[in-house]
Amino acid sequence: SAVISQKPSRDICQRGTSLTIQCQVDSQVTMMFWYRQQPGQSLTLIATANQGSEATYESGFVIDKFPISRPNLTFSTLTVSNMSPEDSSIYLCSVSQGQGKSPLHFGNGTRLTVT
């Protein structure tokens, strides 16, 4: 299965600033996704990162707040912009090959605290 490196693993940021989270995979993957998870809660899909084109955002998430890049099949970034304390959460990168039984594999997550 794919090995996913996600950086940073955690950060404490001031409100109004932005943080960019990186996700690097050791092999080419078809699908890359970004999820958000509050402690003790389920995973909420933010967007699908599309290679070479704009990401596909889920309801409630917009590009201005969560810009995403995916320049190739092994790398993606998620930026959390103009942060507020409500953005404090765990952000998870996940990948799959898309077809058939292909499961999701997750990075170890970025624990973000906004003060």
> According to the binding rule CB under 8 A, does residue 92 interact with another protein?
yes
- Selected from 56, 72, 82, 113, the binder of another protein by CB under 8 A is 56
| CB within 8 Å of 76: residues ≥ 6 apart | 22, 23, 32, 34, 49, 68, 69, 70, 93
Largest CA distance in the chain: 43
- Only one of the segments 19-27, 65-73, 76-84, 106-114 lies at the binding site for another protein (rule: CB under 8 A); that segment is 106-114
The nearest distance, CB 64 to another protein, in angstroms, is: 21
- Only one of the segments 11-19, 44-52, 64-72, 81-89 lies at the binding site for another protein (rule: CB under 8 A); that segment is 44-52
Q: Which is nearer to another protein, 13 or 90 (CB)?
A: 90
The nearest distance, CB 53 to another protein, in angstroms, is: 14
- Only one of the segments 17-25, 66-74, 75-83, 107-115 lies at the binding site for another protein (rule: CB under 8 A); that segment is 107-115
Positions that interact with another protein (CB under 8 A): 30-31, 33, 35, 40-45, 48, 56, 92, 94, 96, 98, 101, 103-109
